[in-house]
Amino acid sequence: MRLDKYICKSTELTRNEAKKLLKTGLVKVNDEVVKNGALQVGENCRVSVEGQELIRRTARYIMMFKPLDTICSNVDEVHPSVLHFLDVDKAFDLHIAGRLDVDTTGLVLITDDGQWSHQITSPRKTCPKRYRVWLDEPIAPEVAAQFAHGVQLKGESRLTQPAQLEVIDDKEVLLTIAEGKYHQVKRMFAAVGNHVVGLHREKIGDITLDEQLEPGQWRYLTEQEIASVL
Ligand code: URA
Protein backbone atom coordinates (compact mmCIF):
# COMPACT_ATOMS: atom_id res chain seq x y z
CA MET A 1 0.00 0.00 0.00
CA ARG A 2 1.17 3.58 -0.68
CA LEU A 3 2.52 5.41 2.34
CA ASP A 4 0.03 8.31 2.08
CA LYS A 5 -2.84 5.84 1.98
CA TYR A 6 -1.43 3.89 4.90
CA ILE A 7 -1.34 7.10 6.94
CA CYS A 8 -4.96 7.92 6.06
CA LYS A 9 -6.10 4.43 6.96
CA SER A 10 -4.33 4.51 10.30
CA THR A 11 -5.35 8.05 11.31
CA GLU A 12 -8.25 10.41 10.77
CA LEU A 13 -6.28 12.37 8.15
CA THR A 14 -7.43 12.97 4.59
CA ARG A 15 -5.12 12.18 1.67
CA ASN A 16 -4.22 15.91 1.36
CA GLU A 17 -3.51 16.24 5.07
CA ALA A 18 -1.34 13.12 4.93
CA LYS A 19 0.64 14.64 2.06
CA LYS A 20 1.16 17.85 4.04
CA LEU A 21 2.29 15.82 7.04
CA LEU A 22 4.79 13.96 4.87
CA LYS A 23 6.27 17.26 3.69
CA THR A 24 7.04 18.24 7.29
CA GLY A 25 9.56 15.36 7.55
CA LEU A 26 7.90 14.03 10.70
CA VAL A 27 7.07 10.67 9.15
CA LYS A 28 9.55 7.82 9.36
CA VAL A 29 9.44 4.40 7.78
CA ASN A 30 11.72 1.96 9.57
CA ASP A 31 13.50 4.92 11.25
CA GLU A 32 14.16 6.80 8.01
CA VAL A 33 12.45 10.07 7.18
CA VAL A 34 10.24 9.63 4.11
CA LYS A 35 8.51 12.47 2.30
CA ASN A 36 7.31 10.56 -0.73
CA GLY A 37 3.69 9.44 -0.31
CA ALA A 38 4.00 7.01 -3.22
CA LEU A 39 6.50 4.83 -1.34
CA GLN A 40 5.11 1.29 -0.99
CA VAL A 41 4.70 0.21 2.62
CA GLY A 42 4.97 -3.53 3.14
CA GLU A 43 3.49 -5.71 5.89
CA ASN A 44 6.61 -5.48 8.05
CA CYS A 45 7.25 -1.75 7.73
CA ARG A 46 7.12 0.38 10.86
CA VAL A 47 5.61 3.78 10.18
CA SER A 48 5.87 6.48 12.82
CA VAL A 49 4.86 10.12 13.16
CA GLU A 50 6.99 12.18 15.55
CA GLY A 51 8.30 8.93 17.01
CA GLN A 52 4.79 7.52 17.62
CA GLU A 53 4.24 4.27 15.74
CA LEU A 54 1.04 4.10 13.67
CA ILE A 55 -1.04 1.02 14.31
CA ARG A 56 -2.45 -0.14 11.04
CA ARG A 57 -6.23 -0.16 11.20
CA THR A 58 -7.78 -2.98 9.27
CA ALA A 59 -11.02 -1.80 7.80
CA ARG A 60 -14.05 -3.99 7.23
CA TYR A 61 -15.73 -4.44 3.86
CA ILE A 62 -19.02 -6.27 3.62
CA MET A 63 -21.72 -7.00 1.05
CA MET A 64 -25.29 -7.64 2.12
CA PHE A 65 -28.50 -8.64 0.39
CA LYS A 66 -30.79 -5.90 1.71
CA PRO A 67 -34.27 -7.25 2.38
CA LEU A 68 -37.50 -5.32 1.82
CA ASP A 69 -38.69 -3.03 4.62
CA THR A 70 -35.26 -2.25 6.01
CA ILE A 71 -33.43 1.07 5.95
CA CYS A 72 -29.86 2.00 5.10
CA SER A 73 -29.31 4.39 7.97
CA ASN A 74 -27.43 3.96 11.23
CA VAL A 75 -30.52 5.08 13.12
CA ASP A 76 -33.51 2.78 13.43
CA GLU A 77 -36.72 4.56 12.64
CA VAL A 78 -39.97 2.78 11.81
CA HIS A 79 -38.07 0.03 9.99
CA PRO A 80 -34.93 -1.74 11.21
CA SER A 81 -31.53 -0.72 9.89
CA VAL A 82 -29.71 -3.28 7.74
CA LEU A 83 -26.90 -3.02 10.29
CA HIS A 84 -29.10 -5.10 12.61
CA PHE A 85 -28.44 -8.11 10.40
CA LEU A 86 -24.69 -7.86 10.95
CA ASP A 87 -23.58 -10.09 13.80
CA VAL A 88 -20.19 -8.37 14.05
CA ASP A 89 -18.52 -6.31 16.74
CA LYS A 90 -19.52 -2.62 16.69
CA ALA A 91 -21.79 -3.01 13.67
CA PHE A 92 -23.14 0.50 14.16
CA ASP A 93 -19.63 1.95 13.61
CA LEU A 94 -20.02 0.88 9.99
CA HIS A 95 -21.73 2.88 7.27
CA ILE A 96 -23.45 2.08 4.00
CA ALA A 97 -21.82 3.11 0.74
CA GLY A 98 -24.82 4.14 -1.32
CA ARG A 99 -28.21 3.82 0.32
CA LEU A 100 -31.28 2.05 -0.99
CA ASP A 101 -34.90 2.99 -0.33
CA VAL A 102 -36.92 1.04 2.21
CA ASP A 103 -38.77 -0.77 -0.60
CA THR A 104 -35.63 -1.52 -2.67
CA THR A 105 -33.78 -4.82 -2.26
CA GLY A 106 -30.34 -6.02 -3.25
CA LEU A 107 -26.68 -5.18 -2.98
CA VAL A 108 -25.45 -2.85 -0.26
CA LEU A 109 -21.79 -2.34 0.54
CA ILE A 110 -20.97 -1.68 4.18
CA THR A 111 -17.64 -0.48 5.52
CA ASP A 112 -15.80 1.70 8.00
CA ASP A 113 -13.38 2.92 5.33
CA GLY A 114 -14.64 6.39 4.42
CA GLN A 115 -12.19 6.88 1.59
CA TRP A 116 -13.24 3.62 0.00
CA SER A 117 -16.95 4.40 0.19
CA HIS A 118 -16.25 7.88 -1.17
CA GLN A 119 -15.10 6.26 -4.43
CA ILE A 120 -18.56 4.75 -4.71
CA THR A 121 -20.74 7.62 -3.55
CA SER A 122 -18.96 10.79 -4.62
CA PRO A 123 -20.82 12.59 -7.41
CA ARG A 124 -17.38 13.34 -8.92
CA LYS A 125 -16.61 9.64 -9.42
CA THR A 126 -18.59 7.67 -11.94
CA CYS A 127 -19.20 4.34 -10.29
CA PRO A 128 -21.87 2.45 -12.29
CA LYS A 129 -24.72 0.77 -10.41
CA ARG A 130 -26.98 -1.76 -12.07
CA TYR A 131 -30.61 -2.12 -11.06
CA ARG A 132 -33.26 -4.63 -12.06
CA VAL A 133 -36.50 -2.71 -12.40
CA TRP A 134 -40.08 -3.94 -12.59
CA LEU A 135 -42.49 -1.50 -14.19
CA ASP A 136 -46.19 -0.75 -14.00
CA GLU A 137 -46.53 -0.07 -17.73
CA PRO A 138 -44.80 -1.76 -20.68
CA ILE A 139 -41.52 -0.02 -21.49
CA ALA A 140 -41.85 2.37 -24.44
CA PRO A 141 -39.42 1.74 -27.31
CA GLU A 142 -37.89 5.24 -27.12
CA VAL A 143 -36.89 5.07 -23.43
CA ALA A 144 -33.44 3.51 -23.99
CA ALA A 145 -32.51 6.44 -26.24
CA GLN A 146 -34.01 8.96 -23.80
CA PHE A 147 -31.97 7.53 -20.90
CA ALA A 148 -28.82 7.39 -23.03
CA HIS A 149 -29.29 11.08 -23.79
CA GLY A 150 -30.37 12.12 -20.28
CA VAL A 151 -33.80 13.01 -18.92
CA GLN A 152 -35.09 15.89 -16.85
CA LEU A 153 -35.96 14.83 -13.31
CA LYS A 154 -38.64 16.79 -11.46
CA GLY A 155 -36.98 19.57 -9.47
CA GLU A 156 -33.57 19.24 -11.18
CA SER A 157 -32.07 21.78 -13.54
CA ARG A 158 -29.68 19.41 -15.33
CA LEU A 159 -30.37 16.33 -17.38
CA THR A 160 -29.36 12.99 -15.90
CA GLN A 161 -26.04 11.55 -17.06
CA PRO A 162 -26.17 8.95 -19.84
CA ALA A 163 -27.63 5.68 -18.55
CA GLN A 164 -27.89 2.25 -20.18
CA LEU A 165 -31.18 0.42 -20.45
CA GLU A 166 -31.46 -3.26 -21.30
CA VAL A 167 -34.95 -4.62 -21.85
CA ILE A 168 -35.57 -8.07 -20.35
CA ASP A 169 -39.28 -8.08 -21.17
CA ASP A 170 -41.94 -5.43 -21.55
CA LYS A 171 -42.19 -4.75 -17.80
CA GLU A 172 -38.72 -5.81 -16.61
CA VAL A 173 -35.50 -3.96 -17.45
CA LEU A 174 -31.92 -3.52 -16.32
CA LEU A 175 -30.81 0.05 -15.79
CA THR A 176 -27.19 1.09 -15.21
CA ILE A 177 -26.61 4.59 -13.86
CA ALA A 178 -23.47 6.35 -12.74
CA GLU A 179 -25.20 8.89 -10.48
CA GLY A 180 -26.94 8.44 -7.17
CA LYS A 181 -29.52 11.19 -6.87
CA TYR A 182 -32.33 10.81 -4.36
CA HIS A 183 -34.81 8.18 -5.67
CA GLN A 184 -33.01 8.43 -8.99
CA VAL A 185 -34.30 5.29 -10.68
CA LYS A 186 -37.90 5.89 -9.66
CA ARG A 187 -37.67 9.52 -10.78
CA MET A 188 -36.13 8.56 -14.13
CA PHE A 189 -39.04 6.27 -14.93
CA ALA A 190 -41.51 8.87 -13.69
CA ALA A 191 -39.86 11.33 -16.10
CA VAL A 192 -40.82 9.06 -19.02
CA GLY A 193 -44.36 8.45 -17.78
CA ASN A 194 -43.85 5.03 -16.17
CA HIS A 195 -43.85 3.83 -12.59
CA VAL A 196 -41.44 1.53 -10.74
CA VAL A 197 -43.20 -1.28 -8.86
CA GLY A 198 -40.09 -3.23 -7.84
CA LEU A 199 -36.43 -2.32 -7.60
CA HIS A 200 -33.39 -4.48 -6.90
CA ARG A 201 -29.69 -3.49 -7.07
CA GLU A 202 -27.53 -6.21 -8.60
CA LYS A 203 -24.15 -4.59 -9.07
CA ILE A 204 -21.95 -1.70 -7.90
CA GLY A 205 -18.83 -1.09 -10.00
CA ASP A 206 -17.39 -4.57 -10.55
CA ILE A 207 -19.00 -6.04 -7.43
CA THR A 208 -22.02 -8.25 -8.07
CA LEU A 209 -24.44 -9.42 -5.39
CA ASP A 210 -23.39 -12.96 -4.47
CA GLU A 211 -26.04 -15.44 -5.65
CA GLN A 212 -25.45 -17.55 -2.54
CA LEU A 213 -26.80 -14.79 -0.30
CA GLU A 214 -30.44 -14.77 0.77
CA PRO A 215 -32.17 -11.53 1.85
CA GLY A 216 -30.60 -10.38 5.13
CA GLN A 217 -27.43 -12.44 4.65
CA TRP A 218 -23.97 -10.96 4.21
CA ARG A 219 -20.34 -11.84 3.65
CA TYR A 220 -16.98 -10.09 3.73
CA LEU A 221 -15.69 -8.84 0.38
CA THR A 222 -12.73 -10.58 -1.20
CA GLU A 223 -9.41 -8.73 -1.60
CA GLN A 224 -10.15 -8.52 -5.31
CA GLU A 225 -13.57 -6.98 -4.75
CA ILE A 226 -12.13 -4.43 -2.31
CA ALA A 227 -9.33 -3.48 -4.71
CA SER A 228 -11.75 -3.14 -7.63
CA VAL A 229 -13.17 0.04 -6.09
CA LEU A 230 -9.87 1.91 -5.76
N1 URA B 1 -33.03 4.69 -7.11
C2 URA B 1 -34.20 4.69 -6.43
O3 URA B 1 -35.17 5.28 -6.87
N4 URA B 1 -34.24 4.01 -5.26
C5 URA B 1 -33.21 3.30 -4.77
O6 URA B 1 -33.33 2.68 -3.71
C7 URA B 1 -32.01 3.30 -5.49
C8 URA B 1 -31.95 4.01 -6.66
Contact present, 195 and 205 (Cβ < 8 Å): no
List, for residues 3-16, the tens digit of each pLDDT value.
998 888 777 677 88
Q: Buried b / exposed e across 123-150, counting CB within 10 Å, b at 16+?
A: eeeebebbbbbebeeebeeebbebbeee
Q: What value does the mean pLDDT take over residues 116-125?
A: 91
Task: Compute the distance from residue 37 Cα to the ligand 1 centre, in Å.
Answer: 38
Report pTM: 0.78
Percent over 70 (pLDDT), the chain: 99
Ligand 1, pocket-test mutation among 73, 185, 204, most atoms within 8 A of CB: 185
How far is the centre of ligand 1, averaged over its atoms, from the C-alpha of 164 (Å)? 16
pLDDT of residue 12: 67
Calpha distance 42→48 (Å, rounded): 14
The set of catalytic residues is: 101
**pLDDT tens-place string over residues 73-108:** 887 778 999 999 998 877 888 999 999 999 999 999
* pLDDT, mean of residues 117-123: 92
Distance from the alpha carbon of residue 67 to the mean position of ligand 1, in angstroms = 14
Considering Cα of 212, then 216, then 217, then 219, what sign does the dihedral take? positive
Q: Whose CA is nearest to atom 2 of ligand 1?
A: 183
What is the best residue among 70, 73, 99, 100 to mutate for testing ligand 1's pocket, by most ligand atoms within 8 Å of CB? 100
Please give the residue that has the higher pLDDT: either 124 or 204. 204
* Alpha carbons 47 and 49: distance in angstroms, whole number: 7
d(CA 50, CA 87): 38
Spacing, Cα 113 to ligand 1 middle (Å): 23
Q: What is the mean pLDDT of the chain?
A: 93
pLDDT tens-place string over residues 121-159:
998 888 999 999 999 999 999 999 999 999 999 999 999
C-beta of 186 in contact with ligand 1 (< 6 A): yes
Specify the higher pLDDT residue, 171 or 112.
171
